[in-house]
Amino acid sequence: MDNSRETVVDIDLEHGLSSEQVAARRAEGRGNDVPTRASRSTWDIVRGNVFTRINALLGILFVIILTTGYLLDGLFGVLIVVNSLTGMIQELRAKRTLDQLSIIGQAKPRVRRDGQSQELAPNEIVAEDIIEMGAGDQIVVDGQVLTAEALEVDESLLTGESDPVLKQPGDQVLSGSFVVAGTGLYLATKVGHEAYAAKLAEEASKFTLVDSELRNGINRILKLITYLLIPAGALSIYNQLSGNQALPEALRGMVAALVPMVPEGLVLITSIAFAVGVIRLGQRKCLVNELPAIEGLARVNVVCADKTGTLTENAMRLSEVRPFTADGHELAGKALAALAAADPRPNASLLAIAEAYTEDPGWHSTGIAPFSSARKWSGASFAEHGNWVLGAPDVLLAADSAERAEAERIGSRGLRVLLLGRAAQAVDAPEAPGEITPAALVVLEQRIRPDAKDTLEYFASQDVTVKVISGDNAQSVGAVAASLELPDAEHPVDAFTLPEDPERLAGVMQESSVFGRVTPAQKRSMVGALQAKGHTVAMTGDGVNDVLALKDASIGVAMGAGSPATRSVAQIVLLDNKFATLPHVVAEGRRVIGNIERVANLFLTKTVYSVLLAVMVGIPGLIGFDALPYPFLPRHVTIVGWFTIGLPAFVLSLAPNNERARPGFVPRVLRMAIPSGIIIAAASFVSYLLVHGGQADQVQVSTTALITVITIALWVLAIVARPYTWWRVLLLVVMAVLSALMFVIPLAKQLFQLDPSNLAFTWTALICAAAGIVLVELAWQISSRIAGKR
């Protein structure tokens, strides 16, 4: 990392750029012209949904059917329009939701212009703007430090270096880093695509499905299907065109064989499920920065939650000040008021103190040490009034001191306790703070969020373990967690006692649920230790001390009111700042993943039996026997698709589903689809052979095979819909009734060329279907038991 120092430019720090100067720089192309969100453009969405391989294949087959003159056999062509429109509408809705929420949730740095400090969106910054920075702020463009008050910048997200870097005037700061302590100003030197992290940030926030196990699994399945389609399709084409049929009839059979092989709805249903998930979460003020986060949340089994801002509200109230001397109350009050006034960017504790001590004693500060999560204290030096520090008693005091024991006794009630003390060294000295003389204990109250207990109970009911990880005193954190009835909260662990060895740390993490006095580096290590044990970890936080852990967690969840740095690295941002929103996010992830797995079974079963049936029909002609006409017309496969896959799959994909996602998506789906597909193909082919030949009417023969396919396919739907609820039973009944009506209503029989009037044929179909149902159910039960044993 380049830490070279340059001469600070001569610029009006108070006034900043004027409106005219800003306009001139924009005209010169020196603006920070990066998109607020790298979502897909409207044209990309239209192109991605219209110009697909599946649409191209169906389009070619549709044109072939049009040449035959049998327009009703081209009903499957409607799928091209429906697939494209449905996908576009849902994805455009999701894009609009995400873009609106990203504007609300984006980091807005404070920029000095026309003598005023104002919040601006990052893309409104221009070169040579003067930008303010304080703890938790993200550096949005490259720049040069102009002023610095104990300014420490964490560049670990860029360099991997874990220690914060102390910055002085003239030093360089790079976009993508963030401030962990202190305050300052910097001059924007490189903006737009010239900034160091612009391309990285653009890539990180794309509306994508990168690294999605679900999408990768579906792609693997589609690749496998492609390999099967080539020989099966070629055989079907050869068989139909080499027989004694007229060309239009042969083309109809060929198209009918090829259309059901394509799992045209699988990718569409997946895209719709994700898009609807984004929209539903957006309605709860939840911004999804990366789509795989929805899938990841479905797999989460450990949630690491910070106490402040998550279980408790971020704002605090000063409860009392307990001086250690009889006459120390007035001096402690002045020191606290001076500390609050000296810090230009006070944290929540100092804000509560400033609210209680509004009168500035007029002490002049000669040195400032802003609060840092790593050292656990802040302070200021006040010339003749001495050096004062405010921080964690168990960090500033010896283990056997009476004052520390008193602080732990008060903290055990769930209160935050800080020590006010005099330091032997100036607070900005390298060896600060030196020996501490205790002056008073500062007791702060935090309100527990009213919805925190219900949220913890939800996670417990869903077999998700919650770990409370906080920088506060362990006893205080334990008391808060115990009041919420978190298991094992009565035995909090002080992070100072945690082992550094990852294996031993993982053991402690598995055994305990509450941890106090945790440093930012330890939070990161704790997340890594849990992941090393095979856990999928979600980390929630709102402060700059949570950034590293959020970045490393399987899923990072930031509060909307948290620091800009946390919001920038998190995959999910809760804009309403409610921990209680997280269960809805987890439930949405489970709904999406669980339902896609359900409907994938339907689509792939259809592909398997379509490929096998085409092969079975084609083999006799290939080995020298009379070529068999394909048993179905394109309009027949359209019926099967409507009532056994399309409509029920759409309903099932949007239904509630609380089952936690598990790895192994592809094997589970194939374990269901392959046996079911083989049985349906075999049963329908047997029924076809039993009635084919002689003087048998071809319409009746096709009807017989179709009854067999639809009946068994409906049973596969019944298996996929388990466990049954009233609406799932209703769905099954409606699909069965609609399927039956196609064989009963005269107009439907005429339009779809169906004739079930030959009772012998119909009974043959039903007997073959009954045998197929028994085999499908048996295969499913055996598969389930094998999976259960594994």
Q: Please count the helices (runs of H) and the strands (runs of E) in the chain.
A: 28, 21
Strand ordering across the sheet containing 312-323: 312-323, 436-448, 416-423, 387-391, 377-381, 367-372
**Contact in structure between 240 and 621 (CB atoms under 8 Å):** no
Residue 667 makes CB contacts below 8 A (sequence gap 6+) with none
Q: Catalytic residue positions?
A: 306
Tokens found for residue 65 = 């059917």
Find the DSSP H helices in 462-519.
474-483, 502-511
How many other CB atoms are found less than 10 A from the CB of residue 203? 11
Burial of 119 (0-12, 13-18, 19+ CB in 10 A): exposed
φ, ψ at 501 (rounded to 5°) = -60, 125
Q: Is 192 left (phi over 0), alpha (psi -120 to 50) or beta?
A: left
Burial of 169 (0-12, 13-18, 19+ CB in 10 A): middle
Task: Please count the residues of the chain.
Answer: 790
Helix (H, G, I), strand (E, B) or coil at 639: helix
Cα 379 to Cα 110: distance, rounded to the nearest angstrom: 25
How many other CB atoms are found less than 10 A from the CB of residue 742? 19
First-to-last alpha carbon distance for the chain, in angstroms, is 50
382 DSSP 8-state letter: -
Computed on alpha carbons and rounded to an integer, the radius of gyration of the chain in Å comes to: 34
Cα 642 to Cα 739: distance, rounded to the nearest angstrom: 9
φ, ψ at 483 (rounded to 5°) = -65, -20
149 DSSP 8-state letter: E
Burial of 101 (0-12, 13-18, 19+ CB in 10 A): buried
Residue 282 makes CB contacts below 8 A (sequence gap 6+) with 94, 97, 98, 100, 101, 288
**Contact in structure between 97 and 295 (CB atoms under 8 Å):** no
Helix (H, G, I), strand (E, B) or coil at 584: helix
φ, ψ at 417 (rounded to 5°) = -120, 125
Cα 380 to Cα 367: distance, rounded to the nearest angstrom: 6
Helix (H, G, I), strand (E, B) or coil at 656: coil
CA 158 vs CA 136, 196, 201, 414, 664: distances in Å:
16, 9, 11, 38, 34
Cα 9 to Cα 731: distance, rounded to the nearest angstrom: 72
